[in-house]
Structure 1
Amino acid sequence: KYVLSLDIGTSNMRCFIYDKQTKIKGRSQCRIKILYPEPQAVEMDPDELWEQILGVMKEAIQSASITPDKIASIGISTQRGTFMLWDKETGKPFHNFLVWQDTRGDALSKSWNDSYTMKFLRPASKGLHLLTQRKKFLAAAVLKFRTQHVSIRLLWLFNQYPDLKGLAREGKVRFGTLDTWVVWKLSGGKVYTSEYSCASSTGIYDPYILDWSGFFCSVLNIPKEIFPPVIDTYDDYGVCEKDLFGFKIPIRAVVGDQQAAMFGQCCFEPGDVKLTLGTGAFLDLNVGNKPHTSVAGFYPIVGWKIGDKVVHLAEGSSNTAGDAVDWMKGMNFIKEPCDSDDIANLVDTSEGVYFVPAFNGIQAPINDYLACGGMMGITQNTKAPHIVRAVLESLAFRNKQVFDSMVAETSLKIKRFVCDGGVCANKLIMQLTADLVGQIINRQEHSEMSALGAAYLAGLAVGYWKNMEELKSLPKQVKSFTPNEENAKKYSPIMKNWCRAAKRSLNWYSDT
């Protein structure tokens, strides 16, 4: 028997088949087609995505040279904050998936944050230290709605298509983040549900009461009826329709990609930190069995829920990471991402060039979605290696910025710092991040932690692995990056100048 893991990221979709030692028996991968139909729009065609899902799953099974009945369980990891509405009766989508990077709700977010409604509610947020943690969470949400949350993009969608809201109130519309839709499709429409880690990443879910927030729905006038029931991270998600693979393969785990990576890295204890460097950068801190309410913009999310045990995370993100490396390739500064290290090391410094990785604004702790990507300090002496080095350094600077703010706010002692994702193969970024944060960073040889985490959960659900202790004992090959104090001192003034450059990019897309 084996475990199949389907990992639907932002740029790539992967499918792996693991044995009990987590060796990969079969694999498949494809590039996800992203659509940019208008400025600020980021979409995916659901029909094309479905064909890709079936394609990678069938190809992985075939490459493993096994029959589908040899798969004990399926685990699914998905990008979060990507959603769609579809017709409850026909199953037909009303629109394309709105990807988490879509910022068309930005103007709406600004108008809401400046509205009389918010000005009326905002006084309740004063004196945060006097409030309970849950009221702090609600008050912090009232301080500012954020474009990356599903709530604002869903409101924008209802404004674009007014008839949808009427249909939603009549119970004719189904809402689904990517996890909900994938399970619904694989099960032939028999299972309609979401999962705690995915639901808590939408900005419409209250992690303190573990339910869709009536408060947010009331404030934004979003029909609460459209949201699916939520079940445990590993649970009975039905089976794949027999017509799809020739066997009813059990689906036993669903989890958001960042939480899946956290689980795959065995970050089970409070104080464990996981940094994922993929299309974007996501820093997650295990804060234990209670949510952490942030005033700096670190969103409280559920890591996973298994039975009565809930693990909560604080998360800070940067929408631009691997995207910046892809941009360099598109500009012919590098031929392939793996070349960036060697090209950057052709020079000792960036010669005063600073890159601001803000293709989709700058997230916590700055939280400016009107910021622009930028490059400053270019002179006639600037060469391609200087630009490449500036881009790579900027990603490490953002890691440092997010980490310092999160640690200061939570006051938790850091126990472990691990990293995964395609960009973590870059030695310059990894070493500089370790230098700046002053922590030993461990990187596993297996970089696809989201897929592994989903596999772990699916395997635990059916007894493939006995418990979390067994997962910790599985063989792992680790590369460690030890901080260099001298390099940290050298980069201290460089990062200060980078912070100055970042400030110049703020509020760029504002009308004022």
Structure 2
Amino acid sequence: MTGPVLAVDQGTSGTKALVICPERGVIGTGFVEVRPRHLPGGLVEVDPRELYESVVGAGARALAEAREPVVALGLANQGETVLAWDPVSGEPLTDALVWQDRRAESVCAELGAHAEELRELTGLPLDPYFAAPKMAWIRRHLTADGVVTTSDAWLVHRLTGAFVTDAATAGRTQLLDLDRAEWSPRALDLYGLADERLPEVVDNAQQVGVTTVFGAPIPLTGLVVDQQAALLAQRITGPGGAKCTYGTGAFLLAHTGERARRGDAGLVSCVAWRLGGRASYCLDGQVYTAASAVRWLTDLGVIKGAADLDVVGGAVADSGGVTFVPTLAGLAAPWWRGDLRGSLTGLGLDTGPGHVVRALCEGLAAQVVELAEAAGRDLGAPLDALRVDGGLTRSTLLMQTQADLLQRPVEVSALPDATALGVGALARLGVDAGLDVAEVLPEWKPAAVYEPRVSAEEAGERLGGFRAAVEGLLRGVER
């Protein structure tokens, strides 16, 4: 198949669009910022119209720069962000509850007795991070009108008029039967959503409609969750490999093959993608605050932005005894304690900005180590290496800290926009079924490889300090 595709990554803090040519690579880019509202009590919401306008705006800018027609469109989404909307007019009926939002904790508390049943059915732990608790909360507290879905279904409807969601996104709701990749009547019943009109669950690469919002008609042929798109772009298409994306949060995914693997190490089991009716699966672990924690330090005036991590952190030799547990939106996998707040300990009169920056990098890296070790336990063998992507991989300090604490090589992707490239590959597959997955993926090579520079003993001591701080938080809440 010849001709470029338009790949759109609708993320938490903005929407990135690429026009990707199979021969020449990226020939057009566009970006529009999105600003979620962070409210007291762990509430995070955004105007859905802002999401849609960012998709249209970023896509239009990329097309204008490319100055070439495209043959297909792919759309990646945030996964667990939900809203209610009118299926006739397409107008939103509520704000969108962003994946970080914690207001549905009351729903989860009521379903505590069914937590293991839901995990066995859907692969997901009972937590307001996922879509179903938010959907139920909206129905109980905001509106009974319209439909309530993940944001992708609304965006696709606005773009094409179709009412669909892809198998990977549906797997982030806690309403999907994981083994069958179909809606689970039992899960719907438990959440009080049995009478809801839900979108059709479709493959990740197939035509679901045609949009004219960019001018000439463009078939929409690729849909996927952002993290699964990055997994695909990193060429992790079979068991054993893992990647971590450092964005607003940090997300580690490990491919497990064509059988759902329900581990007991605290990770999520979910659909990686479904192609030609056949599902592939992955284990997924989350760090809720990564770039958002860097932004928090920036707002406090400790640094001027992410580019300062290396400059300020590099001015000191170590963290000076400071330990930072940067759980500013709760502690995710493998602990699943969204009620926890972050902690910054070991401060003294000699503590400077560099020590805090280094402690932040250690806290982020230590959480990713916990996820990598959990994945290794569930897979039955430690990870050989970790492929990484996302904006924070530009920090040498963070990546070297990651390699040191992980005691494994960290391979930084040369692809700056892995999510968009992954959904672009799916869009190409969806418009030309004769292609093989390997044919549509970008060539993978590391821009840098970070090897551990400290001993396993030192890494263990540093991880031990972080784990002790987490245990202190857990004990404090339990008291």
Q: TM-score, normalised by structure 1?
A: 0.88
Paired letter, 1:75: G
Equivalent residue for 1:31, pick from 30, 33, 46: 33
C-alpha separation in 2, matches of 1:185 and 1:382: 51
Taking the TM superposition and a 5 Å limit, the aligned residue runs for 1:69-468 are: 70-113=69-112, 118=113, 137-138=120-121, 145-161=126-142, 164=144, 167=145, 173-187=146-160, 189=161, 191-241=162-212, 244-412=213-381, 414=383, 417-463=386-432, 466-468=435-437
Alpha-carbon distance between aligned partners in 2 of 1:56 and 1:464, rounded to the nearest angstrom: 27
Alpha-carbon distance change, 334 to 62 in structure 1, aligned in 2, over 3 angstroms: same
Q: 1:472 and 1:219, CA in 2 relative to 1: closer, same or farther beyond 3 A?
A: closer
Q: 1:497 aligns with which of 459, 465, 478?
A: 465
How far is the alpha carbon of 1:507 from its aligned partner? 7.0
2-structure distance, mates of 1:472, 1:75: 14
TM-superposed deviation, 1:494: 2.1
Whether contact under 8 Å (1:266, 1:471) holds in the other structure is no
Structure 1 unaligned regions, length at least 5:
126-133, 168-172
Contact 1:84–1:177 (Cα < 8 Å) also in 2? yes
Output one character per residue of 1:185-208: Cα deviation in whole Å (capped at 9) or x when no partner.
111x2x110100110011221211
Shift of 1:477: 5.3
Give, in whole Å, the separation in 1 of the partners of 2:325 and 2:384.
30
Q: Which residue of structure 2 lines up, in the alignment, with residue 130 of structure 1?
A: none
Give the paired residue count. Answer: 477
AA aligned to 1:294 is G
Shift of 1:36: 3.2
**For residues 65 and 139 of structure 1, do their structure 2 counterparts lie closer, same or farther at Cα, with a shift above 3 Å needed?**
closer
Aligned partners of 2:167 and 2:201 also within 8 Å: yes
Q: Deviations over 1:85-134 (max 9, x none)?
A: 11233322220111100001123423432xxxx2xx57xx6xxxxxxxx9
Tell me the secondary structure at the aligned position of residue 27 of structure 2.
Answer: strand
SS at match of 1:506: helix
Relative distance call for 1:472 and 1:50 in structure 2 (3 A) is: closer
The answer to whether the Cα contact below 8 Å between 2:169 and 2:224 also exists between their aligned partners in 1 is yes
Q: Deviations over 1:317-348 (max 9, x none)?
A: 01011111111111111112111112112111
Secondary structure at the aligned position of 1:202 is classed as coil
The code of the aligned residue for 2:138 comes to L
Alpha-carbon distance between aligned partners in 2 of 1:480 and 1:266, rounded to the nearest angstrom: 17
Kept in 2, the 8 Å contact 1:275–1:420? The answer is yes
Query: Which residue in the other structure is 2:55 paired with?
Result: 53
Structure 1 residues 81 and 507: CA distance shift in structure 2, 3 A: farther
**Contact 1:267–1:286 (8 Å) recurs in 2:** yes
Give the counterpart letter for 2:132 in structure 1. S
* Secondary structure at 1:337 match in 2: coil
Cα offset for 1:505? 2.4
One-letter amino acid of the structure 2 residue matched with residue 503 of structure 1: E
User: Is the Cα contact below 8 Å between 1:147 and 1:153 reproduced in 2?
Assistant: yes
Residue 280 to residue 76, structure 1, CA distance change in 2 (3 Å): same
CA 462–92 in structure 1, closer or farther in 2 if over 3 Å, else same: closer
Q: Which entry has the higher C-alpha Rg, 1 or 2?
A: 1
| 8 Å contact from structure 1 (residues 371, 508) kept in 2 | no
- 1:441–1:193 CA distance, 2 compared to 1 (3 A): same
The residue matched to 2:211 in structure 1 has which SS? Answer: coil
Q: Distance in 2 between the 1:279 and 1:196 partners?
A: 23
Q: Distance in 2 between matches of 1:472 and 1:213?
A: 32
Q: Distance in 2 between matches of 1:406 and 1:152?
A: 26
2-structure distance, mates of 1:26, 1:472: 18
Unaligned runs of 5+ in 2: none
Residues 1:22 and 1:358: Cα distance change in structure 2 (over 3 Å):
farther
Letter of the structure 1 residue corresponding to residue 48 of structure 2: P
Greater Cα offset, 271-280 or 57-66? 57-66
Q: CA deviation at 1:81?
A: 0.2
Give 1:437 shift. 2.3
**Bigger Cα displacement from structure 2, 206-215 vs 498-507:** 498-507
Residue 213 of structure 1 and its aligned partner are, at CA, apart by 1.6
How far 1:416 sits from its partner (Å)? 5.3
Are the counterparts in 1 of residues 181 and 279 from structure 2 also a CA contact under 8 Å?
A: no
- Report how far residue 40 of structure 1 moved: 1.8
Native 8 Å contact 2:118 2:126 kept in 1: no
Contact 1:43/1:98, CA 8 A, preserved across alignment: yes
Q: CA separation in 1, counterparts of 2:318 and 2:15?
A: 36
User: Conserved in 1, the CA contact under 8 Å of 2:122 and 2:177?
Assistant: no
Aligned letter for 1:204?
L
C-alpha separation in 2, matches of 1:465 and 1:16: 23
